[in-house]
Homo-oligomer: A and B are copies of this chain.
Amino acid sequence: MGFFTDYPCSDARKFLLLWCCLSVLAVASLGSKTRHFKWQVEYLYWSPDGVENVVMGINGRFPGPTIRAKVGDTVSVGLTNKLQTEGVVIHWHGIRQFGTPWADGTASISQCVINPGENSVYRFKVDKAGTFFYHGHYGMQRSAGLYGSLIVDVAEGKKEPFHYDGEFSLLLSDWWHKDVHQQEVDLTSKPFRWIGEPQTLLINGRGQYNCSLAARSGNSSLSTPCTLKGSEQYAPQILHVRPNKTYRLRVASTTALASLNLAIGNHSMIVVEADGNYLQPFSTTDMDIYSGETYSVLFTTNQDPSKNYWISASVRGREPKTPQVLTILNYSPTSASKLPPSPPPVSPRWDDYDHSKSFTNKVLALMGSPKPPSNYHRRISLLNTQNTINGYTRWAINNVSLSLPTSPYLGSIKFGLNNAFDHKNPPDNFSSLYEITKPPVNPNSTYGNGVYMLDFNTTIDVILQNANALKANVSEIHPWHLHGHDFWVLGYGEGKFSTKDEAKFNLKNPPLRNTAVIFPYGWTALRFVANNPGAWAFHCHIEPHLHMGMGVVFAEGVHHVGRIPNEALACGMTGKMLMNNNRN
């Protein structure tokens, strides 16, 4: 069909048919069930953008298979590590893992890694409908391509608070031609080597490096037109639609670095969901999406059906050196190979933060959503700075650069292994004299792996405070992601947070999210209830930033955690303890 790949489940008719079949099956099964998946993780030669490279794939594919389940289901993924010498874990981004904190898939935090040749089962309940994804959480294996979509539908008999006729899922990522192992060495080298901007942006693992889809339509005089048969691994997945229908677009960003702006040419979008939480619907012509975020938007196919339209994603917040990635919205019965006559959407200027903030401020909870407690028990203010330690470039939070321990926290805390990590709590605050608009006066920092021990069931406020990086007049965007919880985003502000800013907190309809951005030189205020027994990462979702220490660990109610499976404990001090006990 044309020279582009069909979107696999996108034809509306096919979709409806499939939906009917699935509905019958679902009714037959009477309620929730266990969805079984069997995965092999391995390196593959793949061509995400026309340049052959090694990617980390699942079951011989990149990206990994989509998980689809219904609220109340149990997802069971039997994973075999087919890598040669590397361990692996998978994090189920947005799934809170109530009762199964060992299945959160974070190396050094929730579990021991799955060693080469071994298999292990991730088993967890999905308790909330929404758009999620999964990805590696060890070293920089997410950057290597270890990711895929995870969609949770409402339970049988339940309805979403909006209507749509069909849906598509767009998993956005960025791609480097440099081997990820080498990127890891770069970031930990002295002197520091920056990995640079991505070569390509990918939609569902597909982008174009050496050519442009838009060039053929005469809209990009600078680049070579793509000559695609459609069967290429890097051919775009086309979204086939019928006129005058409403579609749900599920968008998730698993980029390693890039903040993105997504748009559909000539179509406006209604934003209805973020990170698995319903939003007060609002309309937009383009949307910013940061690494770790997910959205659902609705769009109506109310444009001229004799034409096709571009869907685009471009870099935001960093001076873009990476071309826009495109795919096509194909109106039935127009041929899918007909290129859109209009130029691709023009992204806002990369540093137009007003545009970003305007979008972000519109993200508010749907009426009837859970409200935050009106007071907090503990406030943790986290200043992020770029630092140096013995000549290494690092990121630090309140002057501590996270260096993960060998023994995962969950087991260490549960078994009271005092030497497994720093037992001094990391600081709840930073000096009020710190000048956030300037490079650090003393860029020295220290490595640390202490834990913020949270009293169970208390309400925690986190103030994320941005600052100037090592270089003058540079302050970067950081999307912070919390494991095991959603938080309410109480507000965003400019400059240094002060208690006076509390008056501006939105306690009425703040959005519930698992990821929130801090803008350059700004602050972001979050509130959550520490009600999920376990040990949970809270970190910048930019892969190199986390790798350079930009994260903290929260833990709460670990004594309530049930029997941690042996596999999650079979390393480091927990492994030693359990084996020693037995042999002595």
Contacts and interface: CB of A to CB of B under 8 A. Distances in A.
Nearest to A582: B582
B113 A115 contact: yes
A582 B138 CA distance: 29
Contact of A570 (B87, B108, B113, B570): B570
A65 to B, nearest CB: 20
A26 interface: no
B185 A44 contact: yes
A498 interface: no
Contacts of A570: 570-571, 575-576, 579
A580 interface: yes
Identical chains in the assembly: 2
A330 interface: no
A141 B579 contact: no
Most buried by B among A179, A181, A583: A181
B54 A141 contact: no
A569 B578 contact: no
A406 B185 contact: no
A566 interface: yes
Contact of A85 (B44, B86, B182, B405): B86
Please tell me the size bucket of the interface on A.
Answer: 35 or more
A418 interface: no
Contacts of A138: 85
A182 to B, nearest CB: 5
A232 to B, nearest CB: 18
Contacts of A582: 578-579, 581-582
Q: Which of A85, A86, A571 neighbours the largest number of chain B CB atoms within 10 Å of its CB?
A: A85
Interface string A413-454: 000000000000000000000000000000000000000000
A45 B579 contact: no
A576 to B, nearest CB: 6
A406 B578 contact: no
A521 interface: no
A117 interface: yes
A327 to B, nearest CB: 28
A390 interface: no
Given A179-B179, A582-B579, A54 B185 contact: yes
B571 A576 contact: no
A43 interface: yes
A182 B184 contact: no
A578 to B, nearest CB: 4
A84 interface: yes
Interface in A526-580: 566, 569-572, 575-576, 578-580
Interface string A84-95: 111110000000
B84 A85 contact: no
A265 interface: no
Nearest to A406: B117
A84 B571 contact: no
A45 B189 contact: yes
Contacts of A579: 566, 569-570, 575, 578-579, 582
Nearest to A136: B85
A118 B583 contact: no
Interface in A128-177: 138-141
Given A181-B179, A582-B581, A118 B572 contact: yes
Contacts of A193: 45
Contacts of A139: 84-85
A44 B140 CA distance: 17
A257 to B, nearest CB: 18
A185 B87 contact: no
B179 A405 contact: no
Contacts of A566: 576, 579-580, 583
A54 B181 contact: yes
Contacts of A140: 84
A141 B85 contact: yes
Q: 10 nearest interchain CB pairs?
A: A117-B406, A582-B582, A85-B139, A84-B139, A85-B86, A578-B579, A43-B185, A581-B582, A566-B579, A84-B184
Interface of A: 43-45, 54, 84-88, 108, 113, 115-118, 138-141, 179, 181-182, 184-185, 188-189, 193, 404-406, 566, 569-572, 575-576, 578-583
9 contacts: A85-B86, A85-B141, A87-B87, A179-B181, A569-B579, A575-B575, A578-B578, A579-B579, A579-B582
